[in-house]
Amino acid sequence: MTSHRPEVVFRGRRMPGDRALVMAIVNRTPDSFYDKGATFAEDAAREAVDRAVAAGADIVDIGGVKAGEGPEIDVDEESRRVVPFVAEVRERHPGLVISVDTWRHEVGRQVCEAGADLLNDTWAGADPKLVEVAAEFGAGYVCSHVGGMPLRTDPYPAPTPERPFWPRYDDVVAEVLAELTTAAERTVAAGVPRGGVLIDPTFDFGKSTRHGLELLRHFDRLVATGWPVLVALSNKDLIGETLDVEARDRLAGTLAATAIAAHAGAAVFRAHNVRETREAVAAVAGLSTVD
């Protein structure tokens, strides 16, 4: 049976608690692993946000820098890509929760001033000033786990003589839990409202497919921490390697994993396929309800 989900509030915006929330992905980048730059242009990004809202997205997550390896993008360029766009989305969709995927406090400050409600820190506090910005504005904050990976390393790197990094854990679930709960408490201590703090096990980042599957199988332990859990596994390598399919053929696997995590009580799903994900979490909520 689906667990009770903790209350989630972003800058005073109280979120529905009867089902998992859906966070649409809109990448203002030319080199996203999934959409290959389909929403880099402003018009395309604007249309993507409008479609996501029409499809039932509760949150839209806007990013200006590819998470993995790629050309260097400085603060000015990242800001140029996301800050005016956040302001436009805020005006077009006053009730929408806007998230920004950034690790930089300079960008975080500008997007919060433009109307962002949530800072999605994919790189686990690489810039410790970002959490201070979230606290200053009363914005939400995502605590992620990357297993010690260097900033903007490819999320799932194969070991090579030049880069021998490979994720190793004695107990991946216990270690992820310990790091995320510590980070979440530290975030609240810094002044971020408790109801706006999410934890993200961050599938593929610093974890092999085996590690990701272990986390998914024991997802109830993440939920049992009491922190709202964000799931970002849409079309990722965890799905591709499990099913031996390329990125464009991972929807079925993504929805299966979504159902598992939703039934365990996940709070938010970061998704490329908004309508299908919204239907999946609604189905889990409905099918799990006992009168």
Which DSSP string do the residues of 30-73 spell out, in sequence order?
Answer: S--TTTTTTT-SHHHHHHHHHHHHHHT-SEEEEESS-SSS-S--
Of these residues, 19, 28, 109, 236, which one is catalytic?
236
Q: Is the pLDDT of residue 63 over 80?
A: yes
- Mean of the per-residue pLDDT values of the chain: 91
Q: Is the pLDDT of residue 222 over 70?
A: yes
Contact (CB, 8 A) for 270 and 9: no
- Lowest mean pLDDT of 157-166, 184-193, 254-263, name the range: 157-166
pLDDT tens by residue, 241-258: 999 999 889 999 999 999
* Nearest by Cα to 201 from 154, 266, 275, 137: 266
User: Pairing mode, if any, of strands 230-231 and 268-271?
Assistant: parallel
Q: How far apart are CA 251 and CA 277, in angstroms?
A: 9
For residue 213, give the amino acid letter: L
How far are the Cα atoms of 93, 97, 249 from residue 154, in angstroms, in the given order? 33, 28, 21
Active-site residue flag, 168 = no
257 three-state secondary structure: helix
All structural domains of the chain, each given as residue ranges with its CATH number in brackets, are 9-288 (3.20.20.20)
Give residue 1's pLDDT: 43
pLDDT tens by residue, 182-221: 999 999 999 999 999 999 999 988 888 899 999 999 999 9
Of these residues, 11, 28, 109, 270, which one is catalytic?
270
Active-site residue flag, 207 = no
* Nearest by Cα to 234 from 252, 214, 260: 252
List the alpha helices (DSSP H) in the chain.
42-55, 75-92, 105-114, 129-137, 172-189, 209-217, 219-223, 237-243, 251-264, 274-288
Q: How far apart are CA 199 and CA 190, in angstroms?
A: 16
The burial class, CB within 10 Å (0-12 / 13-18 / 19+), for 69 is exposed
